Chains A and B, each alone.
Chain A
Amino acid sequence: MLNTLLPILLFAALGLAVLGALRRVAMWRQGRASKVDLIGGLFAMPKRYMVDLHHVVARDKYIANTHVATAGGFVLAALLAILVHGFGLHNRILGYALLFASVLMFVGAVFVALRRRNPPARLSKGPWMRLPKSLMAFSVSFFLVTLPVAGILPADFGGWLLAAVLGLGVLWGVSEMFFGMTWGGPMKHAFAGALHLAWHRRAERFGGGRSTGLKPLDLNDANAPLGVEKPKDFTWNQLLGFDACVQCGKCEAACPAFAAGQPLNPKKLIQDMVVGLAGGTDAKFAGSPYPSLDGRGKPIGEHGGNPHQPIVNGLVDAETLWSCTTCRACVEECPMMIEHVDAIVDMRRHLTLEKGATPNKGAEVLENLIATDNPGGFAPGGRMNWAADLNLSLLSEKKTTDVLFWVGDGAFDMRNQRTLRAFVKVLKAAKVDFAVLGLEERDSGDVARRLGDEATFQTLAKRNIQTLAKYSFKRIVTCDPHSFHVLKNEYGAFDGNYVVQHHSTYMAEIIGAGALNLGQHKGSSVTYHDPCYLGRYNGEYEAPREVLRALGIEIKEMQRSGFRSRCCGGGGGAPITDIPGKQRIPDMRMEDIRETGAELVAVGCPQCTAMLEGVVEPRPLIKDIAELVADALLEDATPGKPSAPAKREPAEVH
């Protein structure tokens, strides 16, 4: 009897799965067009899955092994089951292979179930709690119905009752695994995830690459939407990416805004986007809600939407979008390689460019950027006041130089001026041929862009590129990771391609070349705080540490350092939009710093300096790497040939 029932069940489920897949594809296609290599992507997908995605998942060995067993077992078992039970190929070898696959899958399912016994808060519950049971139902049922095929049991073993029970088991299994995969069950992540990997909008991320620059808006096309208002304004592969979310909550665990009690949870945001693309309400969301100030979380089920309805104030509150510091911790952690920050900035663009609804100081900062080229609204003529006594060469006079020192807007900030002056001291000590743009420099456009004001960003970028085109230089060096990132990764879209280095990278280079005569750092123990825009955005974790080691510093690493570094709270215009939370992000980071017992924290970013110095004393000291290097410089001694100490003639006494 099972011999007739199984093919029907299998093919019915597969047929329904195909229908579901078509329906899902139609949902994604509501999005806007996107240039993707469709065929090449599909061919590249297995490697992206096995290598790139596995790299991320393998940070958690437990779940990586579990997933290999479960997914590997399932794919094998499903294919074999279709052959053996669907097409009736009752071959003993195939039977044994299917037995092995279902055992493998069962073992995986047991570990999934163990993880779900006491699940951490980041994991979604609801239908996800059912998944290990479904996995077991699938694997156990197919194991048992395959025993006769392998010749271990007689074909009519167990009679009607067992056949009925197994039939039900198979029904449950294939419903979850085939039907549920395309109709929105937990297994949707496998179907959408595979296609998302194939058609990812940042294909450069695979194969060890990095792609972190925001994608430009086409402002010349008057019909193109300015950012994303409704779910259908996303590109279709962004919608597909949202659908790939497996709700593991790694993003939630890494998000500084979530930890600070600001109303953002990256996982919930992505799920809200899924609600937006499929239509409905968020009532079925079974994870942590957006935090609220009363500590209970924003109620679930009150928000809803569909592809043609504005997202903000229907599906998502604006303050959720403005809580993000664009630190990219969520993107870094996401095993599905979903691009949360892109989506957030896309939606911010609509709010700023169309609605004029940048919160708090946002409007003022953007107006200042337009009228004065700096966010503080300072008189542009004062941009070089910090270096009034330093006698710096201007590129407008020199025309050509080795190193163009990009000063950044920190020029207007008294604290950051100390860093800038320290770095100039280092450059001079190393006898570097360098120059600055002086009054010709403008804000890089970083803050404008993260606040969604693509128009102001592009104006600033184009003017800067125009200025840079007038001169010849070998590289740009800057103390500001935000300028660094924008110049290096985001000006390229406007034909501004330069060699750009963060000052820590450059200092590591000149120290390595022996151009500096350095003493040792004296006294206090030191930890290092990785800036997001240097680390996660640009992969530079080593150079700052190298510089610190060259000063004889043994870094007391924080638990969250390197690619897991926690944001200072200063990125993405977050200090400007200033969405209230239960605590401040820099306070949490300072707690991380205190845990190491270090008395001094080395930083490499004016934003981090400002945010961390904003933490009330007593707290560890905050010093930029350039300041530490400048402090350790041994003056009046040329490297290589230490000058003999001047001998004083002994005074003769008669």
Chain B
Amino acid sequence: MSTNVISLVSIGAHPTSGRPRRAEQDARAVELGLQLAGDKLQVLHAGDIAEPALRAYLGMGLEQLHVLEQALGADALPALTEYLRGAGVQVVLTGSQAETGEGSGMLPFLLAENLGWPLVVGLAQVESIDGGVALVLQALPRGQRRRLKVRLPFLATVDNAAPKPRQSAYGPARRGVLQADEVEVVDDELLAVATLQPAKPRPKRLKVIKAKSGADRMKAATAKASGGGGQVLKGVSAQEGAEAILKLLIEEGVVRQG
């Protein structure tokens, strides 16, 4: 099985020290790519070729890594879109969210939109690729998996459900080649005018346990956190549907009225 796979990688940051490293999820994208395509895997980065942390990806046993040379603050999207369009690739893997920079997690979506390819979020495993269709497992919360049939070419993000990345070794990292590709640099205007501030952890919804008995408490602790008051709207018009959604958003305080 020879599949043309590209893994997109970015520069990560260690969670406690903030020092550059290979990004955890991107490394998983490389690992999955290596398992799928072996030596034929291509790895692509848009950014600074001189960043030493890139070598950590080479240390996973890659012979080379393509770098679309860009300055800090340039928009990676156009360069990546153009490269991928011409690469004749069947599967593109990437982490869900970058550890540095904007880290919005939007890139895979925008890329898929630009290319007009399907996007699989939270890819856990590729079961088979046959006749232009891939059978993949998508990771859902609580270890659940959903089997999806996707037509090629497609884009997929991986998160922590994907296989653990192999160790990065010094020898291959030193030998591997960083190959620079010159691309047109497009400044990210949106980023240039935006102000960045440290993210605050999202408040957690309080779980009110009304259980009276031990058995109830046990049930509450082990049962799935279900929405409970969910409502399935069927056979309603778009107007009615939108109103129902808006009403819920107002109730939940997501959208403020007035």
| Interface 1/0 per residue, A338-370 and B, CB below 8 Å | 000000000000001111111000110011001
> Are B167 and A358 neighbours in the complex by a CB distance under 8 Å?
yes
A380 within 8 A of B: yes
Of A222, A357, A367, most B-chain CB atoms within 10 Å: A367
**Contacting pair A354 B16 (CB below 8 A):** no
Contact flag A356-B168 (CB < 8 Å), given A367-B21, A371-B21: yes
Asked if B167 and A356 make an inter-chain contact with CB atoms under 8 angstroms apart, the answer reads yes
Judge whether B171 is part of the interface by a CB distance below 8 angstroms.
yes
With A222-B174, A356-B59, A356-B61 as contacts: A377 and B167 at CB distance below 8 Å? no
Task: Assess the A356–B166 pair: CB atoms within 8 A.
Answer: yes
Per-position 1/0 for B19-46, Cβ under 8 A of A: 1010000000000000000000000000
Nearest 10 interchain pairs by C-beta: A356-B169, A356-B167, A363-B167, A371-B14, A379-B16, A354-B171, A455-B170, A372-B17, A353-B170, A226-B171
Residues of B within 8 A of A367 (CB): 21, 168
- Write the nearest CB–CB distance from B192 to chain A, whole angstroms: 29
B156 shortest CB reach to chain A, Å: 25
What is the bound-complex CA distance between A495 and B146, given in angstroms? 58
Given A356-B167, A367-B21, 19 new contacts (CB under 8 A): A222-B174, A226-B171, A352-B167, A352-B170, A353-B169, A353-B171, A354-B169, A354-B172, A356-B59, A356-B169, A362-B167, A363-B167, A367-B168, A371-B17, A371-B19, A372-B14, A373-B17, A378-B16, A379-B16
Separation of A357 and B21 alpha carbons in the complex (Å): 19
Contacts of B14 in A (CB 8 A): 371-372, 377
CB within 8 Å of A: which of B187-208? none
Q: Which of A353, A380, A453 contacts B17 (CB 8 A)?
A: A380
Contact indicator A453/B16 (Cβ below 8 Å): no
- Interface residues, chain A, with chain B CB atoms under 8 Å away: 222, 226, 352-358, 362-363, 366-367, 370-373, 377-380, 453-456
In the complex, which residues 1-28 of chain B have their Cβ closer than 8 Å to any Cβ of chain A?
14, 16-17, 19, 21
How would residues 162 to 181 of chain B score, 1 for a CB under 8 Å from any chain A CB and 0 otherwise? 00001111111011000000
Most interface-central of B19, B61, B168, B171 (chain A CB within 10 A): B171
- Give every chain B residue within 8 A of A358 (Cβ-Cβ): 167
* B65 contacts A by Cβ under 8 Å: no
**Whole-angstrom CA separation of A226 from B19 in the bound complex:** 26
B60 at interface, CB cutoff 8 A: yes
Contacts of B60 in A (CB 8 A): 356
Instruction: Please indicate which of the listed interface residues B16, B19, B61, B172 has the most CB atoms of chain A within 10 Å of its own CB.
Output: B16
Could you name 20 residue pairs across A and B whose Cβ atoms are closer than 8 Å? A222-B175, A226-B171, A352-B169, A353-B171, A354-B171, A356-B60, A356-B61, A356-B166, A357-B167, A367-B21, A371-B17, A371-B21, A372-B14, A372-B19, A377-B14, A377-B16, A378-B16, A380-B16, A453-B170, A456-B170
Q: How near does chain B come to A62, taking the closest CB pair, in angstroms?
A: 48
Residues of B within 8 A of A373 (CB): 17
The interface of chain B, by Cβ under 8 A from chain A, is 14, 16-17, 19, 21, 59-61, 166-172, 174-175
- Nearest Cβ distance between residue A618 and chain B, in whole angstroms? 33
A458 to chain B, nearest CB (A): 10
Give min CB distance, A635 to chain B, whole Å. Answer: 38
A222 to B61 Cα, complex, angstroms: 17
Q: Looking at the assembled complex, report how far the CB atom of A352 sits from the nearest CB atom of chain B, in whole angstroms.
A: 7
Residues of chain B within 8 A (CB-CB) of A370 are 21
Chain A neighbourhood of B59, CB < 8 A: 356
Q: How far is the CA of A63 from the CA of B166 in the complex (A)?
A: 50
User: What CA separation (Å) do A222 and B173 show in the bound complex?
Assistant: 12
Closest beta carbon of chain A to B35's beta carbon, Å: 15
Which residues of chain B come closer than 8 Å to A456, judged between CB atoms?
A: 170
C-alpha gap A358/B167 in the complex (Å): 8
Please tell me if the beta carbons of A379 and B170 are within 8 angstroms of each other in the complex. Answer: no
Within the assembled complex, what's the spacing in Å between the Cα atoms of A379 and B172? Answer: 28
Tell me which residues across on chain A come within 8 A of B16, comparing CB atoms: 372, 377-380
Q: A356-B61, A372-B14, A372-B19 are in contact. Are A226 and B167 (CB under 8 A)?
A: no
Cα–Cα, bound, A353→B170 (Å): 5
For the complex, give the distance between the alpha carbons of A456 and B172 in Å: 15
Q: How far is the CA of A354 from the CA of B172 in the complex (A)?
A: 6
Distance (Å) between the CB of A328 and the closest chain B CB?
26
Closest to A373 in B: B17
Report B246 CB to chain A, min CB distance, Å. 43
B17 touches A379 (CB 8 A): yes
- Write out the residue numbers on chain A whose beta carbons fall within 8 Å of the beta carbon of B167: 352, 356-358, 362-363, 366
A197 to B: closest C-beta gap in Å: 34
Query: Which residues on B sit within 8 Å (CB–CB) of A454?
Result: 170
User: What's the Cα separation between A475 and B168 when bound, in Å?
Assistant: 37
Write the nearest CB–CB distance from A462 to chain B, whole angstroms.
15
Are A355 and B17 closer than 8 Å at their CB atoms?
A: no
Within the complex, the shortest CB–CB distance from A517 to chain B, in Å, comes to 42
Which A residues touch B19, using CB under 8 A? 371-372
Q: How far is the CB of B60 from chain A (nearest CB, A)?
A: 7
How far is it, in angstroms, between the C-alpha of A479 and the C-alpha of B247 when the chains are bound?
A: 65
Question: Which of B14, B59, B61, B170 has the most CB atoms of chain A within a 10 A radius of its CB?
Answer: B170
Nearest CB of B to A651, in Å = 61
Query: Bound state CA distance, A352 and B21, in angstroms?
Result: 18
How long is the Cα–Cα vector from A358 to B175 in the complex, in angstroms? Answer: 20
Considering the chains assembled together, what is the distance between the CA atoms of A434 and B167 in angstroms? Answer: 40
Give B139 Cβ to nearest chain A Cβ, in Å.
22
The smallest beta-carbon distance between A442 and chain B, in angstroms, is 11
A residues in contact with B171, CB < 8 Å: 226, 353-354
Give the CA-CA distance A371 to B12 in the complex, in Å.
11
Interface centre among A354, A356, A357, A366, by most B CB within 10 Å? A356
In angstroms, Cα B167 to Cα A103, docked, is 62
Minimum CB–CB distance for B133 against chain A, Å? 34
Closest-by-CB residue of A relative to B12 is A371
